[in-house]
Structure 1
């Protein structure tokens, strides 16, 4: 990143409307940490709609406060229009990052598009940081200019992604250290591993999922545990899928592996824990991106959409991952047999599986997961190669800071 660009952009306001629990705020929190890593003098204003969720990954946050400082950033409660209006009327933003199509709060819309700001002759750059996708359209939308209502506002799209024609992924110092340094990882989870069993010798599986029937998981991992030379340890993260995992566990009486339930972790500890695993069941946006960068084999539980359209997004990722052995189980893991597939999902996948209902899918997933676990060395190279290619794209935050001064 050039020194001139570092000096030109002095303050950024980041907007986060929390919709999917940890995914939205997880990405935004990481983005802010990475921006600060790149430029320590950058002033950041973070406007969040759900401070309670933010607190779960940054314990120092106080959800009761409409304004607070954290890590040198200004943190605002999106919902407190009075506090926000007062501050931003006196300090009109010149760079606004809208994350995940969150739009502008009404109070900020009135400031940016108001007569006073237009008369000031200042320019407000609004950049939409979009959802991560491997679909081809991400390349077409990256750095595309959008429509704005006045000449004093410029709007652009900025696409995270997995190719050189996108912005890449966020790389913060904590995560990159977790990738490289085993001792660093241990230091970040030291307090956690005092309260739950954790051994380098164990085969460790992390489960962070949306609600599912995990019968296939228990059958496959149980057989793997019986025949493995290593002790199998499963760690389950809190969130939407926790209750369904516990339900399946209560119904399954013959597990030969250990299960521990994790507390809410700081994002730094979460990164270290994730990077210490042997296999991942992962969901959401931020954790999916970390899994993709980690080089650890994983299955992705993608956020469900109408007409099973999420399966199109899933297929786009699997195509560039290029690990055919996980394709069918990925489809089954994300298929809701209570819904009809739309034409886009059918076109993307064709006849990937003969399963027509959940019962058949459970049997097939158990069979496929066993094959994966017993032959993990056969798929590790695909995940490692994908990780290297994605890391080689560079840091989204640096690319973003290079782009912002070009908006005139």
Structure 2
């Protein structure tokens, strides 16, 4: 059985560990690979998968050997394939062991997701080590066949469609959350980073002519929502009813995206899961210095809008730009809502194209 090591450092959010944990589980379950996942902080992973002991040095869950990555890294047997997720630095003694091995492991730098044009040209490019007899290869996730693809477990789309076709499954899910949405309400999930546009959006939902049921998984938006409602309990004003949830594990969060009519997401992991949910969504991209994330946002919008009528494309761009603090954006909730049928049809068609491509795990395995 091939052995893979995946290294992941947790920075300030859940995205890096969320992606690597999904990848590790899929490699084990669908490709029979022996995976060891090295993580420098297990507390965020414990939020995503509550069965994890955040203090254990080693444990096996879902077939994945999860190891705490200590500052003083031990001498361990190297793997056949080594993945450094999102440009983290593999320990020096591990690299030295790789160089000393008679059979060099495949060394992959798994990059962040982007729709920018240059990604396809850089995908799989070699990067020789400046001093050691090792070569690292860049591996870029992406939305086109000439990139590494997106994480998508086998049968994910079928499970999602079955859930969305079953009123019983959805009713049971809402009951588990302790929520009874108004049948006439637009159901929205709200997950993101701090956002100055949020108060205006909440007020637009309060003034909406029809009911809105908004579900708020715990995130950096939670304090803003709490400040908006003040001492009011429950969180209900006008036609807006808010439901605050504790942090959801990955499987429950997937179902929340499936159950809602519209999803606000952030970063990379929830962004990709919103794509597979088959519903219109709004993405809060991870902010970067010098607004470098604006180019990434616009690159995705350009790709995503292909085939969408011009009027809906304008509303989509304007709303996304405002949500991401681009000066060209306008938060026009009513205009956005009016384009919903066109956006839903377009999104479903776009997903149909994406699922014709191989997923990220398959492409990684084929690349070895």
The Cα shift of 1:124 comes to 1.5
| Alignment match, 2:37 | 46
Q: Shift of residue 394 of structure 1?
A: 2.2
Partners of 2:175 and 2:27 lie apart in 1 by 30
CA-to-partner distance for each residue in 1:356-382, whole Å, 9 max, x for gaps? xxxxxxxx41xx122112341132222
**Alignment partners' CA distance in 1, 2:16 and 2:170:** 23
After TM superposition, the runs of 4+ consecutive aligned structure 1 residues lying more than 6 A away are 183-186
Match of 2:84 in 1: 98
Per the alignment, residue 238 of structure 1 pairs with: 218
Following superposition, the deviation at residue 190 of structure 1 comes to 4.7
Q: Is the 8 A contact 2:192 2:266 kept in 1?
A: yes
Shift of 1:192: 6.5
Distance 1:177 1:26, change over 3 A: farther
TM-fit CA distance, 1:335: 1.6
- Mark the CA change 1:376 to 1:46 in structure 2 (over 3 Å): closer, same or farther: same
Task: State the partner residue of 1:334.
Answer: 324
**Equivalence for 1:196:** 178
Structure 1 segments unaligned to the other structure (5+ residues) = 1-8, 338-351, 354-363
Determine the structure 2 residue equivalent to 1:68. Answer: 59
Deviation of the 1:152 alpha carbon: 4.7
Query: Is 1:111 matched with 2:125?
Result: no
The structure-2 alpha-carbon separation of the partners of 1:47 and 1:267, relative to structure 1 and needing over 3 Å to count, comes to same
Q: Tell me the CA shift for residue 17 of structure 1.
A: 0.7
Structure 2: gaps spanning 5 or more residues = 306-312
- Does 1:389 find its partner at 2:353? yes
CA contact (8 A) 2:128 2:134 kept: no
List aligned pairs for 1:170-319, cutoff 5 A: 170-173=151-154, 175-182=156-163, 190=172, 193-199=175-181, 201=183, 202-213=185-196, 214-224=198-208, 227-228=209-210, 231-250=211-230, 254-319=237-302
Task: Give SS of 1:85's match.
Answer: coil
1:29 matched to 2:21? The reply is: yes
Tell me the distance in 1 between the aligned counterparts of 2:182 and 2:103: 56
CA shift for structure 1 position 290: 1.2
What is the CA–CA distance in structure 2 between the aligned matches of 1:149 and 1:59, rounded to whole Å? 41
Is the Cα contact below 8 Å between 1:66 and 1:80 reproduced in 2? Answer: no
Aligned equivalents of 2:318, 2:48: Cα separation in 1: 33
- Compared with structure 1, are the counterparts of its residues 53 and 390 closer, same or farther at alpha carbon in structure 2 (3 Å cutoff)? same
Q: What is the root-mean-square deviation of aligned Cα atoms in Å?
A: 2.5
Distance 1:295 1:267 in 2: 17
Please, which of 304, 312, 320 is the counterpart of residue 321 of structure 1?
304
TM-score, structure 2 length as denominator? 0.89
CA gap 1:282/1:68 in 2 versus in 1, 3 angstroms: same
Q: Contact (CA 8 Å) 2:315, 2:335: kept in 1 or not? A: no
Instruction: Return the TM-score normalized by structure 1.
Output: 0.80
Q: Deviations over 1:314-351 (max 9, x none)?
A: 000000111332101211211277xxxxxxxxxxxxxx
Compare the two structures and name the one with the higher helix fraction.
1
Paired residues of 1:12 and 1:45 also in contact (CA < 8 A): yes
Shift of 1:80: 5.4
Deviation at 1:174, TM superposition (A): 6.7
Task: Confirm whether residue 148 of structure 1 aligns to residue 111 of structure 2.
Answer: no
Q: Is the 8 A contact 1:174 1:268 kept in 2?
A: no
Distance apart, 1:28 and its partner CA? 0.7
SS of the equivalent of 2:320 reads helix
Residue matched to 1:360:
none
Instruction: Call closer, same or farther: CA 1:333–1:144 in 2, change over 3 Å.
Output: same
Query: How far apart in 2 are the matches of 1:197 and 1:212?
Result: 26
- CA distance in structure 1 between the partners assigned to 2:177 and 2:367 by the alignment: 45
Q: Which structure is richer in relative contact order (CA contacts within 8 A, separation 6 or more)?
A: 1
- The count of aligned residue pairs is 355
Deviation at 1:143, TM superposition (A): 1.1
Task: Please identify, of 384-393 and 394-403, the stretch whose mean Cα deviation from structure 2 is larger.
Answer: 384-393
